[in-house]
Chains A and B, each alone.
Chain A
Amino acid sequence: MNEKKDIIVVNELTKKFGNFTAVDHISFEVRQGEIFGFLGANGAGKTTAMKILCGLSLPTSGGGTVNGYDLSRDQEKIKRNIGYMSQKFSLYSDLKVWENIRLFGGIYRLSGKSIKEKSDAMLRYLNMTDLKDELVGDLPLGWKQKLAFSIAMIHNPSIVFLDEPTGGVDPETRRLFWDLIYEAAESGTTIFVTTHYMDEAEYCDRVSIMVDGVIADLDAPAALKQRYQAADMDTVFRQLAYQAKRE
Chain B
Amino acid sequence: MVLLYLLEKEFKQFFRDPGLPKMAIAFPILMMLVFPYAVSMEIRNINLVVVDNNRSVASSDLIQTCTSSGYFNLINICDDPTWAMQQMDKNRADAILTIESDFDRCLERGEELPVGIKVNTINGTKGSIGAGYLTSCVRRYYAEKSPRIQQNYTAGPQLDISSKYYFNPYLDYKQFMVPALIAIAITMLTGFFPALNIVSEKERGTIEQINVTPVNRGVFILCKLIPYWAVAFFVLTACLLIARLVFDYSCVGSLGLMYLFTACNILVTSGMGLLISNYSDNAQQSMFITWFFMMVFMLVSGIFTPIASMPGWAQAITYLNPMRYYADAMRAIYMKGSTLADLWADAAGLLAIGTTMVVWAILSYKKTT
Contact = CB atoms under 8 A, between A and B. Distances in A.
Interface of A: 54-58, 75-77, 79-80, 82, 84, 86, 88-95, 99, 102-109
Contacts of B90: none
Given A56-B208, A56-B212, 16 more contacts: A55-B368, A56-B368, A58-B369, A75-B367, A79-B214, A90-B206, A90-B209, A91-B206, A91-B209, A95-B12, A99-B8, A99-B9, A103-B8, A107-B6, A107-B210, A108-B214
Contacts of A94: 12-13, 16-17
Contacts of B211: 56
Interface in B1-55: 2, 4-6, 8-9, 12-13, 16-17
Given A56-B212, A91-B206, A94-B13, A103 B367 contact: no
Report which residue of A54, A75, A103, A107 has the largest number of chain B beta carbons within 10 angstroms of its beta carbon.
A107
Nearest to A96: B12
20 contacts: A55-B367, A55-B368, A56-B212, A56-B369, A57-B368, A57-B369, A58-B369, A76-B367, A79-B214, A86-B208, A88-B205, A90-B204, A90-B205, A90-B209, A92-B9, A99-B9, A102-B5, A103-B8, A106-B4, A108-B213
User: Ordered nearest first, which 5 A-B pairs have the shortest CB separation?
Assistant: A106-B5, A88-B205, A90-B209, A84-B212, A79-B214
A91 B8 CA distance: 15
Nearest to B1: A106
A107 B10 CA distance: 13
A76 B9 CA distance: 22
B215 interface: yes
Contacts of A89: 205
B214 A88 contact: no
A216 B167 CA distance: 80
Interface in B105-160: none
A56 B367 contact: yes
Contacts of A84: 209, 212
Contacts of B9: 92, 95, 99, 103
Nearest to B16: A94
B207 to A, nearest CB: 9
Contacts of A92: 9, 13, 206
A157 to B, nearest CB: 10
A94 B13 CA distance: 6
A80 B209 contact: no
A35 B17 CA distance: 40
A79 B213 contact: yes
B2 to A, nearest CB: 6
B213 A86 contact: no
Contacts of B208: 56, 86, 88, 90
A99 B12 contact: yes
A12 to B, nearest CB: 20
Contacts of B17: 94
Nearest to A99: B12
A76 B214 contact: yes
Contacts of B4: 106
Contact of B5 (A55, A86, A103): A103
B368 A93 contact: no
Given A106-B5, A107-B2, A80 B12 contact: no
